[in-house]
Amino acid sequence: MVISSTVPRVVFNLRVLADKYFGTRPLVVGRSDCLLPIAVRVDAGTAVGPDRLVNTVAGHDMFGGDLIIVDFGTATTFDVVDSDGAYIGGSIAPGVNLSLEALHQAAAALPHVDISKPQRVIGTNTVACMQSGVFWGYVGLVREICDRIKAEHGRPMKVISTGGLAPLFQQSAHLFDAFEDELTMHGLTVIHQFNKEI
């Protein structure tokens, strides 16, 4: 069993479950006894989220190096994978749904809306305006951050999308070279196999 979570209570509960029902001690990504097949080259003392490490491992295994992995989760993360597969940093922006919820919570007159690709950029009602602002705002955010990462990296890079809302953005504006729905699961299997072979 292998676990990746940024929530300590979830990790604890899954470790108890693994011990009680499966009689095994799980690997926990981010702990010292769970080795990774990639290097992590960030500032000393920096803790990198296990989800980001797992996606890096999967991305390198599936696509090689020089990648930007854009994960549309609670946060929208941009993980940079070097040519040798090392995780070398990235960016974190608020997640799409988090942004919509913040609009709803902070402005009493704005309703809760679900994200979708609007028919037009110019909304003619409140819901359409919010959907347009968030959708096209995130298209612009993704494009700009990826362009700046590519410029800093100085080599051609592939951009891979994953996460719950990735399919929605995959269909617009040619932002990504590929979409991988099971990227995180693939990374967990690669890490588990790597530790099994050591």
> Sign (positive/negative) of CA torsion 91, 79, 153, 175?
negative
List, in sequence order, every residue forming a beta bridge with 159; answer none if it has no partner: 68
Residue among 108, 100, 94 at smallest CA distance from 129: 100
Select which of 43, 51, 79, 84 is catalytic. 51
Q: Check if 51 is active-site.
A: yes
Angle at 79 between CA 134 and CA 147, to 5 degrees: 65
What's the Cα-to-Cα distance from 136 to each of 51, 122, 175, rounded to whole Å?
A: 26, 11, 12
Question: What residues act catalytically?
Answer: 51
